[in-house]
Structure 1
Amino acid sequence: MPRKNRWADLVAAAGEEFREHGYDNATLEGIGARVGILKGSVYNYVGSKEELLLAVVEGPARALLDELELLSRDHTSSVAVRLRELIRIQVRVFADHYPAAFVYLQHVGRARTPAFAFFDDMDRRYTAAVETLLAEGARTGELSLPASPRIATRAVVGMLDWMQHWFTPRGADADRELADQLFAMVLGGLLAGGGVRGLSGALPSTSTGPAAAPAPARRPRGG
């Protein structure tokens, strides 16, 4: 009987090992132990730990990019509807590829070898798509941005990326509800942001340090 191919198990184990211990502290021994094979057997599949990192993060990266390209073809829905769908897609990819998607966020930014050039391109395309969407909303008046589309985009993307620190999949319905809650918070800021910015000049200025205590009243001499 042919020996069972353990590639899928190995990639899943690597994702768990990288998520739990970090890329630098993860070992091929530890990854192999998760699937019941020795380090030497791991080398039957990959030549280095970096190759395993590439294999772990490629799935969620391509899934997100494919979904994003489908969304970019929607020219009939409102900006708000497309933004909601974008956030739903992001949460769904996080859940479907947990924890590999978070391994991507944590470690790929530090991997600058030619093998990871695809991910740099994907990041640029993803950020550009969000920025284009927000800029469209500002141009048509559907959104009232508190800042430039570029800055607003980085705020939205940063909020989603931060999910790596707290998100755990809870099932399709609960994850979709979470995505819509995040969307509601984002949309609220993008709708009201321009008005808040206009009010900033009327708000009282605040000191960056503690308020100075009033000087004690001087008693008159000789009284």
Structure 2
Amino acid sequence: MPRPSRWPELVRAAGEEFREHGYDNATLESIGARVGILKGSVYNYVGSKEELLLAVVEQPARALLAELDRLRADTGSSVAVRLRELIRTQVRIFADYHPAAFVYLQHVGKVRSPAFAQFAEMDRRYISAVESLLAEGVANREFSFAGPPPLAARAIVGMLDWMQHWFVPQDPQADAQLADQLFALALGGLFAAGGVHGLATGGRPTVPVRD
């Protein structure tokens, strides 16, 4: 009987190795050791370490874009509801594809290879979708904040990307609760920043400010 493929284990091990030691310091030998196979056996699956990195990061990137396309097609929900779902989705993917999703954030932009050019376009699609969502919220007066939607979009995406430095997946309920707490922080800023901006620039606030 043919032996079962070790590919899923190998991809998982590669993600853990890249996350813990960095792409440059990881070796095919150390990755193979995590699943109990020799370096020579790793070459039965891939021709290089770069191919393994591609396999690690491709799944979370495509999963996020698929969910993003689904949210963009949801025109029946308010912008706030869709933003909440976007943040929930991001946290869920960080958990479901841990640590691969964080390997993506750490390393993809540093790899200069034609095979990774697709991810730059994926990143543009992602930030463009968040910008469009926030612009819609401003247009229909759900949100009021100082500055253009691209600024707010980058602030929210930056908040989520920073999770790579502290997030450890728990159970689905705890992760969902965390996502809603992050959403509340983002939504509070989107509601109040327009008024607070007046105070910051020397004018009078248009929202109550407590001592």
Quick check: TM above 0.5? yes
Runs (4 or more) in structure 1 with deviation over 6 Å come to none
Q: How many residues align?
A: 204
Give the fraction of aligned pairs with identical amino acids, expressed as a percent: 72
Q: Distance in 1 between matches of 2:71 and 2:139?
A: 19
Residue 170 of structure 2 corresponds to which residue in structure 1? 170
**Distance apart, 1:200 and its partner CA:** 2.0
After superposition, where does 1:61-76 map in structure 2 within 5 Å? 61-76=61-76
TM-score (norm 2): 0.94
Q: Distance in 2 between matches of 1:199 and 1:76?
A: 36
TM-score (norm 1): 0.89
After superposition, where does 1:38-187 map in structure 2 within 5 Å? 38-187=38-187
Secondary structure class of the residue paired with 2:192: helix
Residue 24 of structure 1 corresponds to which residue in structure 2? 24
Q: Cα deviations across residues 127-161 of structure 1 (Å, max 9, x unaligned)?
A: 00000001111111110122211111111100000
Q: Distance in 2 between matches of 1:118 and 1:89?
A: 21
Cα RMSD between the aligned structures? 1.2
Q: Distance in 1 between matches of 2:146 and 2:172?
A: 32
Q: Distance in 1 between matches of 2:201 and 2:119?
A: 42
Larger Rg computed on CA atoms: 1
Secondary structure class of the residue paired with 1:45: coil
Q: Which runs of 5+ in 1 are unaligned?
A: 204-223
Secondary structure class of the residue paired with 2:169: coil
Q: Distance in 2 between matches of 1:25 and 1:10?
A: 17
- Is this contact kept in 2: 1:146–1:189, CA < 8 A? no
- Is this contact kept in 2: 1:146–1:192, CA < 8 A? no
Q: Distance in 2 between matches of 1:140 and 1:194?
A: 15
Secondary structure class of the residue paired with 1:202: coil
Q: Which runs of 5+ in 2 are unaligned?
A: 204-211
Residue 5 of structure 1 corresponds to which residue in structure 2? 5
Q: Distance in 2 between matches of 1:181 and 1:68?
A: 20
Q: Distance in 2 between matches of 1:147 and 1:190?
A: 11
